[in-house]
Amino acid sequence: MGALHEGHAGLIRRARRLAGPHGSVVVSIFVNPTQFGPKEDLSKYPRPFAQDQALCRKEGVNLLFHPTADEMYLSDASVAVREKELSQGFCGASRPGHFDGVCTVVAMLFNIIRPDVSVFGEKDWQQLAVIRRMVRDLRIPIKIAGHPTVREEDGLAMSSRNRLLTTEARRDAPRIYQALRAVAMEAEDGEDSVARLCANLKKDLLAIPGASLDYVGIVNQETLAPLKKLLPSACARALVAVRLGSVRLIDNLPIPSSR
Amino acid sequence: MGALHEGHAGLIRRARRLAGPHGSVVVSIFVNPTQFGPKEDLSKYPRPFAQDQALCRKEGVNLLFHPTADEMYLSDASVAVREKELSQGFCGASRPGHFDGVCTVVAMLFNIIRPDVSVFGEKDWQQLAVIRRMVRDLRIPIKIAGHPTVREEDGLAMSSRNRLLTTEARRDAPRIYQALRAVAMEAEDGEDSVARLCANLKKDLLAIPGASLDYVGIVNQETLAPLKKLLPSACARALVAVRLGSVRLIDNLPIPSSR
C-alpha cells in the first residue's frame, strides 16, 4: 500500500535474505481501491511515491511494481477470491469487504509476479492468517513468510498511521503494546482463563486517555477461532484494534501457555 | 470429471499438439463435489476409472492427476473463487453454486499442475467463458485453448450423458444440433433480430418429442450478455439446454452476422 516506513524496510531485508544474493526482490506498491470500505477515504490515503521509491532503491529492491488501478482492474472485472471464515471477525467485521479485496489483489499480484516466497508483516496478523489460508486452500505454490512486527523504541508498532496521531496520543500509544505485554506475562505466570486475560487487556487499553476499543480478542493464532483456555496444543494470540481519537491502531502479540 | 469419451480424446490430442513432442500432457480426472448442486446426485455420477485410464494411456498422456475429494478439500477449507457476471445465467441459473465450484477447483488445479496451456471443450461454452474471465481478471499466467465440440456422426454433441438417453430420445437428440444449424443459417441469410431467431430456435427444439427447455439464448459469445440484433462487431453464440425425458443436454453454436 506504499507509505513505506522502517517496518516495510524490515520486510524488504527479510525478502533479500530469503532470495539470496542471486535472487530478485520485488516490492509492490498499490493503493488497492477494492479493500477500502464505503466509509473509508481512498483519496486521502498517503501516496509519497518518490520517498517510497528512494527507500526501495536504498534497500536494493530489484523491481518496484507500481501499477495504476486501471491497469489492475478492467472496468468489467467480475472475479473475486473470498475467504469465508478467518476474514469475518476483527478487522473484517469493522471493514466489510476489506479481506475480499485483499485476497483478490494478492492473488492477482501472486499471478503477475510469481514469487517463490512472499513476505507479509505480522502486524496485520489477520491479513497474514487469511493469506496463509488462501495459499493453503487454493494450493498457490508460494511460501508465505510472516515477518515480526517492527516497533519504535518505545514499543509502538510501526504504521503509516502513527504520523496522524496528536502529540498526546503519540505519547500514550505505546501503552497498547504494554497492555499486550502485560497480558502475555500474566499468561506466562499461570493465568489460563481467556475471559480473565481479555478483561484485563480491555481494562488496560481503556485506561489510555481518549482510547476506544474496536476489538480485543485472544484466539487460536492460525484459525482465529475463539479460545476459552490457553492450552499448549493451540498457540494463542491477542489481537487488538484501538482508536486513539480518530486514528485506528492495530497490534497483536503471541500469548504463551504456561503449561 | 472423467467418464472420458471421444470428445475428451479430442481435447487430449489438441493438448499434445500444443505441448509438442517434448512437452507433457496432463489430464485431471476429478468428480468435483463442490460443483454439484444440492439436488444433483454426486454419488450417481459415472466413474469408469479403468476405462478412463486406458484412454489416457492410448492417447499418450504423460500424467493422469486423479486426486480424492479429501486430498483436494481440507475439512476446514474456506476459500473460494467466484465469477459474478457470466456465471449467473444459463447453467448458472439452473445450477446454483455450480460455477463457484468450477472456478475454485480449476484455480486449484491450475496451481497444482501449473500448465502453460489448458484445453477446455467448447461444448461447455459458459464454463469456457467463465474460465477465460477468471484467467483474465486474476491474471493467471495460463493460456486457455477452447476446443471445438466433437460430435457423433449424426451431429449430437458428445457427452457422457448421451448413454443415459432412451433409444427414442437418442434417435431424436440430433435435432438439437439441427435446430442450432437452422438458426445459424437463417442468420447467414440475413435475419438479424435475436428475438425472431430465438423464437424459431425454441419452436424447433420444442418440436422434439418429450423435449422441455431449460434455456435458450443468443448472446455475446465472450460476455454472454443479451443481444437484440446480430452485429458484425460482437460475435454471437446460441446456447441451449434441453431436457429429453430426465436427461439434460447442452449444446451451442456460433451465429454469424450477415452484415
Return the C-alpha cell found at B198. 430465438
Distances (CA, A) of A20 to A58, A118, A150: 17, 14, 22
Using the Cβ of A141 and the Cβ atoms of chain B, whether some distance falls under 8 Å is answered with yes
In angstroms, the CA A254 to CA A197 distance is 13
Return the C-alpha cell found at A135. 495459499
DSSP class per residue in A115-173: -SEEEEETTSHHHHHHHHHHHHHHT-S-EEEEEPPPB-TTSPBP-GGGGGS-HHHHHHT
In angstroms, the CA A164 to CA A44 distance is 12
Return the C-alpha cell found at B101. 465450484
Distances (CA, A) of A11 to A53, A117, A147, B64: 15, 12, 6, 40
pLDDT score at B232? 87
Give yes or no for residue A238 having a pLDDT over 90: yes
Instruction: Indicate the residue of B78, B111, B134 with minimum beta-carbon distance to A141.
Output: B111
Same domain, A22 and A131: yes
pLDDT band, residue B37 (cuts 50/70/90): confident
Q: How many residues does chain A have?
A: 259
CB contact under 8 A, A79 and B108: no
The pTM of this model reads 0.96
pLDDT band, residue A133 (cuts 50/70/90): very high
In angstroms, the CA B188 to CA B170 distance is 29
Same domain, B130 and B176: no
pLDDT digits (tens, 9 = 90+) for A93-109: 999 999 999 999 999 99
B172 domain residue, yes or no: yes
CB contact under 8 A, A78 and B137: yes
Which positions 150-209 of A are in contact with B (Cβ < 8 Å)? none
pLDDT digits (tens, 9 = 90+) for B73-90: 999 999 999 999 999 999
Q: What letters, b where the CB count within 10 A reaches 16 and e where it falls short, cover B197-218? A: bbeebeebbeebeebeebebbb
Same domain, A128 and A189: no
Same domain, B140 and B167: no
Same domain, B20 and B64: yes
The residues of A that are catalytic are 8
pLDDT digits (tens, 9 = 90+) for B148-201: 999 999 999 999 999 999 999 999 999 999 999 999 999 999 999 999 999 999
Q: Which residue of A has its CA nearest to B88?
A: A78
CB contact under 8 A, B139 and A108: yes
Q: Which of A117, A147, A177 is the last residue in one of the domains?
A: A147
Same domain, B81 and B207: no
> How confident is the model over A18-36, as a mean pLDDT?
96
pLDDT score at A59? 97
DSSP β-bridge partners for residue A248: A243
Range of the domain at A239: 160-255
Residue A189 sits in a domain whose CATH number is: 3.30.1300.10
B156 domain residue, yes or no: no
Number of CB pairs, chain A paired with chain B, less than 8 A apart = 76
pLDDT score at A38? 83
Share of chain B above pLDDT 90, in %: 93
In angstroms, the CA A200 to CA A186 distance is 10
Same domain, B17 and B125: yes
pLDDT score at A213? 98
Same domain, B113 and B230: no
Same domain, A38 and A140: yes
Q: Which of A147, A182, A202 is the last residue in one of the domains?
A: A147
- ipTM of predicted complex: 0.95
In angstroms, the CA B12 to CA B187 distance is 33
Return the C-alpha cell found at A254. 503471541
Domain count, chain A: 2
CB contact under 8 A, B137 and A79: yes
Mutate to test the interface with A, among B70, B76, B78 (most CBs of A within 10 A): B78
pLDDT score at B40? 85
CB contact under 8 A, A83 and B81: no
In angstroms, the CA B57 to CA B64 distance is 9
B157 domain residue, yes or no: no
Share of chain B above pLDDT 70, in %: 100
Q: Which of A122, A147, A172 is the last residue in one of the domains?
A: A147
Same domain, B172 and B141: no
Using the Cβ of A80 and the Cβ atoms of chain B, whether some distance falls under 8 Å is answered with yes
